[in-house]
């Protein structure tokens, strides 16, 4: 079983501030790294799937980077808004194909107005 670690476990951020958090994963047998956002009472929603070392992806105010050699990914949120409040999950896929993902425990983000 892979160990996927996320930090911090929870985070309180003032509205308008930018923030970032980390996902670390075993760099051996790397295939893909996923980020999901999980809002309360909703389904987890895919944000990014990242596969290449040095990859950088962006969706609106949210972006992510990937370092497969050292085994980490950062998620950045610029100008946080209340609707960004959610748990952010990262997941590593080491097998490719149909295998399930190995998830971290998540970073619980609360944006304070």
Which residues in this chain contact another protein in the complex, by CB under 8 A? 1, 31-32, 34, 36, 42-46, 49, 51, 89, 91, 93, 96-106
- 97 neighbors 90 (Cβ within 8 angstroms): no
Residue among 31 and 53 whose Cβ is closer to another protein = 31
How far apart are CB 43 and another protein at their closest, in Å? 4
DSSP assignment string, 25-90: ---TT--EEEEEEE-TTS--EEEEEE-STT-EEEETTEEEEEETTTTEEEEEESS--GGG-EEEEE
Residue among 1 and 83 whose Cβ is closer to another protein = 1
How far apart are CB 113 and another protein at their closest, in Å? 26
How far apart are CB 51 and another protein at their closest, in Å? 6
């Amino acid at each position: 079983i892979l160990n996927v670690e996320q930090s911090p476990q929870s985070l309180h951020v003032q509205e308008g501030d930018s923030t970032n958090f980390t996902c670390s994963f075993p760099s051996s047998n790397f295939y893909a790294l996923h980020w999901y956002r999980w809002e309360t009472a909703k389904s987890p929603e895919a944000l990014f799937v990242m596969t290449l070392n040095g990859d950088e992806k962006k969706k609106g105010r949210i972006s992510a980077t990937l370092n497969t050699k050292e085994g980490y990914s950062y998620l950045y949120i610029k100008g946080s808004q209340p609707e960004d409040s959610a748990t952010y999950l990262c997941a590593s896929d080491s097998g490719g194909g149909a295998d399930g993902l190995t998830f971290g425990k998540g970073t619980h983000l609360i944006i304070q107005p």
